[in-house]
Structure 1
Amino acid sequence: MRPKIIFVIEDDPDVQSIVTSFLQHEGYTVRNALSAAEAFHLFAAEEPDLTILDIQLPDMDGVTFCRHIRTHYRRPILFVTGNREQEYKVNALLSGGDDFIQKPFDPLDLLLRVKGNLRWSDLLPPAASIPEPDRDVLEYPGLRIDLRRMTVTVREELVTLLPKDIKLLTTLASHPNQVLHTEQLYRLAWRDESNFSKDTVKVHISKLRKKIEENPSSPKFILTVGSLGYKFNPYGALEPV
């Protein structure tokens, strides 16, 4: 069984170091982020079993960040804050948080919270195993795909795509954060088992990026994953404020 992955999103390096050391000592794999921008990169790469989230980040408050990731991330979020006002706790939980712990906290108390939240996280199936619901619209921050009208809107602007490119985008967007091997992507988008062409996929990916990415040479939505293939980053349009 693989170690549980925990994201610690905390802008205080000292607190982050203490929490990370404590969790690693308990056998957890820890990924760190000091800001929302760094955290979005973490979520684009993998799904953690638990997220420990500071309510006050330098580039985006934790409540807003939580609302963004809750669109696609279903596993537990444990908020951490030094503010004692009840309003902070209420807002954190209403935004999609599952639990709340206040600084300064006893590491043993934190560990109990972590274990308690991981227990129900274990009951959730992996994201890749969840069948996509029948929907007329695929919608992510900054991107909307209307499957009935076959239209694509990027950052509230309608973009013109060929039917095959819409199918390619829909295939990727239906599997957020999941790496699709080039041949697998071809089979799903082209509905063709026998005429696989890596170059065909590469050309269409390039054309698609030119239409939906602000900077096609540095894509945010459609990411290349080494020599494996491609994956869709559902947080591509998010800009920390």
Structure 2
Amino acid sequence: MAPSSAATPGYRALVVDDEVSLADVVSGYLEREHFEVVSASDGAEALRLARENDPDVVVLDLSLPGIDGLEVCRQLRTFSDAYVVMLTARDTEVDTIVGLSVGADDYMTKPFSPRELVARIHAMLRRPRVVSRLAEKTAAEPPARVFGDLRIDVSAREASVGTGPINLTRTEFDVLAALSARPGLVFTRRQLLEAVWGDDWFGNEHLIDVHIGHLRRKLGDDPAKPRYVLTVRGVGYRMGSGR
């Protein structure tokens, strides 16, 4: 899939990779799509530039000198809600789970197509419109969605269990918002990906399973007997009552 030629100008991107030639190629593709791009070759510089430039998306290599990509992502999540695409040279389940567990939204394995990377970034940046459509409120809808002890305020993008707020990444909250918007509906993986990432997203559908796992952990939901996010075997996921 080719990137859109009518990209909205004004988006900021941070490209972090110690392979300067690769960083230059990715930066060039993004600049042709009207992104404002800065690049870094190590973790410390990446965090400094992220604070200074407040990027909308970060393309982040896992293996960096000094502070590695995982630690950069952990620290980034303390002050930024930028979308993060993790780049890794190792295509293993462990790498994927660990990378997404620290707050990355998507991942790509080297070697990869820069055009595919840019297309995925465009899909992510279109997500707020998709989620807003799913989360539209009617006049009769309460200000928050309540499922037992779980309270979800979509407008404020806040969730809490009991009296304790939950620190969700943007993607985790969007998955929860999509499920809770239609609690009686069973979503397939593809339907959830389309609801959250958009219908032009492409990649491994099991990406959603990793985000569901992290979401359950943060909600305190027992995977064996979940109350909030239920697995419908052979189909997908749906919202539970919380009881």
Relative to the length of structure 2, the TM-score reads 0.48
Largest Rg, 1 or 2: 1
Relative to the length of structure 1, the TM-score reads 0.49
